[in-house]
């Protein structure tokens, strides 16, 4: 895979890449995420925000767009 020649993709460690990616998401998608951007600071923040966005997309599309994995859906129903 060829990655863009930007600082985001030139991280030396996985931890550094994660920090840069979270900052990029906060900056680029602040209008979409709103207060949910703060969730990205949690240890599992990326997973939480991904689940919220998938659920929003599902709700807005009235179920025609479903990016929620089957096992995640089962967990949500059990809760």
d(CA 11, CA 63) in angstroms, rounded, equals: 38
Task: Return the higher-pLDDT residue of 28 and 75.
Answer: 28
Q: What is the pLDDT at residue 58?
A: 87
Instruction: Find the mean pLDDT for residues 11-39.
Output: 88
pLDDT higher than threshold 70 for residue 76: no
* pTM beyond 0.85: no
Cα dihedral across residues 59, 60, 63, 69: positive or negative: negative
Task: State yes or no: pLDDT of 62 exceeds 80.
Answer: yes
User: pLDDT category, 79, cuts 50, 70, 90?
Assistant: low
């Amino acid at each position: 895979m060829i990655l863009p020649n930007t600082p985001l993709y030139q991280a030396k460690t996985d931890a550094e890449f994660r920090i840069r990616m979270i900052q990029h998401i906060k900056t680029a998608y602040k209008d979409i995420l709103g207060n949910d951007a703060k969730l990205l600071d949690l240890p599992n923040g990326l997973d939480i925000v991904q689940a919220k966005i998938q659920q929003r997309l599902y709700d807005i599309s009235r179920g025609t767009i479903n990016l929620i994995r089957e096992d995640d859906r089962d967990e949500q129903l059990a809760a």
